[in-house]
Structure 1
Amino acid sequence: MFSDVEFLSRLQFAFTIMFHYIFPPFSIGVGLLLVIFESKYVITRKKVYENITRFWIKIFAANFSVGVASGIVMEFEFGTNWAQYSRFVGDVFGSPLAAEGIFAFFLESGFLAILLFGWNRVKPGVHLFSTIMVALGSMMSAFWIVVANSWQQTPVAYELVEFNGHMRAVITDFWGMVFNPSAMVRFGHVLVGAFIQGSFLVISVSAYYLLKNKYVDFARKSFSIALFIATIASISQLFLGHEHGKVVAEYQPAKLAAYEGLYETQTNAPLYIIGYTDPETKSTYGIKIPGMLSFLVHGDTNAEVTGLNAIPEKDWPPAAMVFQSYHIMVALGMFFIALTLFSWFLYFRNKLFSSRIMLRIFMFSVALPVIANQLGWVSAERGRQPWIVTGLLRTSEGLSKSVTAEEVIISLILFILVYILLFFVWLYVLDKEIKHGPTDENSPEAGYQSEEDFAETISKF
């Protein structure tokens, strides 16, 4: 195992990308909430929304910094570990990555400076516009990355050309590549997952303050707004996930079969609620709903769904892992829907903020959307195996020919050490900012601002 360059390279890339993917969803989710918080401040002139906005800008900046630092490594890995893959997809993959850097990263990072240092230097409208641009930049960054990844899942608008003795994919239609069959539904799925993750971070911190009976007005308002976004996003994810599943069924039937542990092509195909699958015996065990998979995919319980046995076994994904990661992700999604809807029931009965059990659940549940997003990518990427580009290039064919197992092991160990340090620095900064609280020592706790105070504040801009 530890002498297998392919296994080690895949392990290294999985570790680096999974660590990196902790941070972009937080940035996207908190970015959206920042727009709402600051809009409320500009419209209502309430001091509490200024405090909320300024507090979460600091959290956003800390998260953004670690996300950038951890993301740079992956681009180097394309050249060091996956040179054959980079040669094959360079013409296709390079375009969305360049667009991500030019139209997304620079947009986000440029206006972030105004968010951090411009509160007392620009007018409120300019600062709000900057906040919108930062949020838009974070979403556009996700868009171009998802486009690149989706092309690997459902490659279109290309031709294979021989260059210096190697085959490579060349774009024949740029917009056809961008709007490939899975790009938009996957982008929506990723974006909404990020909204859930960012919302649960805000809710978690707000719940912590309410349990401590600190910054109560601040916590109640930020909790309520974030809960609204979390609820809408959680429910939306149910429908987006369904649409994504239909695309997977059409273009990647092996992946869908692994998701559902379906080995025989059949009508009235069952949907497993919980269980496990054994690829050795080609059997799946658990609680199932007969015909539901056929209905969800085709709208007809008698429709046929392709099983793994219709696909050469050498092209099977690792069904056991994919089945479990997919089902845990779905279970977490259903939990988010139940939790948020029940919270609104308590909210309208004026019992949510007084329920210490619910506040504790929310305080610790911040990790669950992170796990769900990670498992979503595990399901998508492991479900694509053994292809690195579906139907065109196998993962084993994308490796660099010169890299050795020893080199990968050494670099992996170094990455682990550095990333552990980076992770604890991130946690330290968050802990420090959260314990410091949303207000300065000399400023009033979140409350209403008088017209005179507001006019004085505006004059400083």
Structure 2
Amino acid sequence: GDIFGAPLAIEATVAFFLESSFIGLWMFGWNKVSKKMHALSIWIVAFATNLSALWILLANGWMQKPVGYVLRNNRAEMVDFMALLTNPYGWTKFFHTILSGYVLAAFFVMGVSAYHLLRKNNIQFFNTSFKIASRFALISALFVLMTGDFHGVEIAKTQPTKFAAMESVWETQKAAAYPIIAVPDPKNERNSFEAILVPKMLSYLAFHDKEAEVKGLKAFPREDRPPVTITFLSFRLMVGLGFLLILLSLLAVVLSRKGTIETKPTFLRIMLFALILPYIAVQIGWIVAEVGRQPWIVYGLMRTADAVSKSIDSSQVLISLAGFTLFYGFLAVIDVYLLTKYSKKGPEESVSRMKLSSVAEEG
């Protein structure tokens, strides 16, 4: 890809090599490099991971809002790399995604801390880790809400069909009201049920202007509309989970402020099971992003149906899809197993095992 390949090539040659090099130094560098160098190596891994996400999301941002290109002989060619690099769609998506990852990490720490506090393991340590993570979660979740709002405005401007599907808007209207409860009926091109309408709220959410015009799905041909029901329900569920995570983070901050969160077993059990919620919210968010883009693989330029290679048959696609699914499913099982295994151990035992493994490798 003349356009799509460029950011991914930069990601692979810069960010990926930084990650792979310094994660090795961190894993096998116990007692071999200075403590400062050892700590710096994991910070470099974290930086490279964020850098990797940036280039990947800038590439995805071009698919959502193509910029800096010309069409020559039915082929998109890059003419302005800076336009791709400064694409506002890619940047709002990047910050929204990265901050969502921070929320996920914070809830993971709170969930693991809750597990150990319920078992009265190393209370002082896990009290502190829970307290720090709760504040990190609240701040990150609030910024997720803010960047999500900015991203929604960008979607309304550049992908009106996606925005209309996200909110199940059928008629083009100014000063559009926002239905808190709605049931889309794509067959009849309407909502079969609406309740609790907030006047002018939808226009404000779309353009930060209460009088702005919001395009409805009927303004676009049926063949250019995304699947409405799954996009709408996924978006509502994602937003609902987002507000739930903010509420849980706020409660965690309040209840842990005195350093006695271990005396709240009911809330700790809730936080233990809440560990999975950010994972669900992130996956649903990507459903909104990718299903809502349909029927386009590059919005407004290339349909998904036209992106299928004519040089391979359906059986080859099926075999490769099954292979990738099995392989990454296997990796996911290993990942969950290792996360569970080391989360159940105390911090001292986990670090000791890492150091012993490093020494064994040296020997």
* TM-based fold match above 0.5: yes
**TM-fit CA distance, 1:358:** 1.1
Deviation track 1:262-313 (CA, whole Å, cap 9, x = no partner) reads: 0100012122334321111222234332310112223332221111111122
Instruction: State whether structure 2 residue 30 is matched by structure 1 residue 119.
Output: yes
Q: Which residue of 1 aligns with 2:267?
A: 358
**Counterpart amino acid of 1:215?**
N
1:349 Cα shift? 5.2
Match of 2:340 among 428, 431, 454: 431
Partner residue, 1:306: 215
1:209 Cα deviation from its structure 2 partner: 0.6
Range with greater deviation from structure 2 (407-416 or 140-149): 407-416
CA contact (8 A) 2:127 2:259 kept: no
Secondary structure of 1:272 counterpart: strand
Count of equivalent residues = 350
With the length of structure 1 as denominator, give the TM-score of the two structures. Answer: 0.73
Equivalent residue letter for 2:280: I
Q: Give the number of the structure with larger relative contact order, counting CA–CA contacts within 8 Å between residues 6 or more apart.
A: 1
Cα distance between partner residues in 2 of 1:132 and 1:153: 31
| 1:325-358, Cα deviation, whole Å (9 max, x unpaired) | 0110000000011111122222235553311111
Aligned residue type for 2:279 = V
d(CA) in 1 for partners of 2:206, 2:332: 40
Q: Distance in 2 between matches of 1:125 and 1:227?
A: 27
Partner of 1:458: none
For structure 2, the 5+ residue unaligned runs are: 353-363
Q: Could you tell me the percent identity over the aligned residues?
A: 42
Measure, in 2, the Cα distance between the counterparts of 1:222 and 1:293. Answer: 40
For 1:159, the equivalent position in structure 2 comes to 70
The CA distance in 1 between the partners of 2:64 and 2:266, in whole Å, is 42
Residue segments in structure 1 that go unaligned for 5+ positions in a row: 1-89, 444-461
Structure 1 stretches of 4+ moved >6 Å:
none
Contact 2:203 2:214 in 1 (8 A): yes
Shift of 1:408: 2.8
User: Residues 281 and 441 (structure 1 numbering): CA distance in 2 closer, same or farther, change over 3 Å?
Assistant: closer
- 1:371: Cα distance to partner? 0.8
- Equivalence map 1:229-244=2 (5 Å): 229-244=136-151
1:327 maps to: 236
Q: How does 1:287-436 map to 2 (within 5 A)?
A: 287=195, 288-348=197-257, 352-436=261-345
Query: Residue 105 of structure 1 contacts residue 137 of structure 1 at CA under 8 Å; is this kept in 2?
Result: yes
8 Å CA contact retained: 1:276, 1:323: no
Q: Which of 108, 112, 135 is the matching residue for 1:228?
A: 135
Give the whole-Å Cα distance in 1 for the aligned partners of 2:209 and 2:88. 23
2:168 matches 1:261? yes
Cα 1:359/1:441, change in 2 over 3 Å: closer
Choose which of 75, 79, 83 in structure 2 pairs with 1:176: 83
- Offset from partner CA, 1:11-31 (integer Å, 9 cap, x none): xxxxxxxxxxxxxxxxxxxxx
Report the AA paired with residue 248 of structure 1.
I
Equivalent residue, structure 1, for 2:2: 91
- For 1:297, the aligned partner's letter is A
| Cα gap change, 1:324 to 1:439, in 2 (>3 Å) | same
